[in-house]
Amino acid sequence: MILAPSILTADFLRLGDQVEAALAAGVRWLHLDVMDGRFVPNISFGPLVARALRPLATRYDAILDAHLMIVDPERYLEEFVAAGCERITVHVEACTHLHRTVQSIHALGARPGVALNPATPLGALEEILPEVDLVLVMTVNPGFGGQSFIAGGLDKVARLRQMLRARRLDAVDIQVDGGVNSETIGPLRDAGATVAVAGSAIFAPDRGVAGAIGALRAALGERR
């Protein structure tokens, strides 16, 4: 299972050091939670932070994975790709013309993903699944880090995996974001998730980044 640390809960006074600690521990995905204060009740950061992290990611051959929790995301796709984001995920709920937005991500040379809020049914994905590389299942209501896992997310991941298999789309990644920790990551992997976004479980003030990553890997039965 791929670990994708969310920098949202990192200490921004030490962002470079904490991100490098995660990369040195073997992480090769960095998850950027972009919030505009409109689609979600919080404001985070924009393409400038992605651009600042790009040289560090390049040094470790890591991916910048932008999760755009913003209205009208199509207005900013080019900026995030230019800043070095190889993967761009937009919300079904935020896109009036989702297919066009996904096509635009493809045209810019990035890999598109679509995200679903907890209350959005999987049926909203049926027509777009063949066009995307990743589906992000939110297991908390988006907007803030450190929230508790919504239990229904586990069943949703399992049903999504069944949907992908039925359509012979097994190569599509299922990413989960929200409440991912040592207790939830194993069941999520078993349900069919392939990418785990973790914020407070990695950038925890009471232990080092490498130790936190090791604990998540141990929960998956992997070597530290």
Among all residues, which ones are annotated catalytic? 33, 177
Longest dimension (CA), the chain: 46
DSSP 139: S
d(CA 171, CA 199): 25
d(CA 138, CA 207): 26
By C-alpha distance, which of 76, 83, 9 is closest to 38?
76
d(CA 151, CA 148): 9
91: β partners: 115
4: β partners: 197
d(CA 201, CA 120): 25
Q: If you write DSSP's letter for every residue of 6-44 in order, what string do you get?
A: BGGGS-GGGHHHHHHHHHHTT--EEEEEEEBSSSSS-B-
Helix (H, G, I), strand (E, B) or coil at 74: helix
DSSP 6: B
d(CA 182, CA 102): 33
